[in-house]
Structure 1
Amino acid sequence: MKDISRNDLLTKIQEVEFACLDLNLYLDTHPKDQKALMDFNMLAEEACRLRKIYEMKYGPLTNFGFSLAKYPFNWINDPWPWEYQ
């Protein structure tokens, strides 16, 4: 995963988070679907892993205590995660 570009890593994070959201909506109406729950948990762990890789390389993806910050505080550094192309 260390050879992946910043943009490709952000895209992968978005894909995995979208799959989590989709499964979350499905589980809202099918709470006893054990396979879907297992898939959701696997993807949630993958999303955490990918966000951790991104944040270690490029800085926080979110603010207000959802991501740890390094010294000096780098949340204000450009580009912001949603501005990177």
Structure 2
Amino acid sequence: MYIPVIYTEEVRLHRLFGEPYSAYIREVPRFFPKWSLYHEPQEYAVKPKVFRHAAGDVLWFVLAVGILECVEAMQESGLLPQLLSLY
């Protein structure tokens, strides 16, 4: 199903963007990654405010998993009653 969709989109995008899209196609694989095309800069410029915001987006999940693990451990030890069982 994906192959016809990919080719249809490529035709449309080539019509819209022309040569810049052709250059993009040469650098980016259609479906599966091609690791030989991967390149990384020698260094990154990081804005601390943006980094803190991104870290905050991740840390809430880590905190939630930690809380759930603590609740599970307390339920298994009998310190906390199990009111709901999902699995």
Same fold (TM over 0.5): no
Structure possessing the higher radius of gyration over alpha carbons = 2
More helix by share: 2
TM-score by length of 2: 0.29
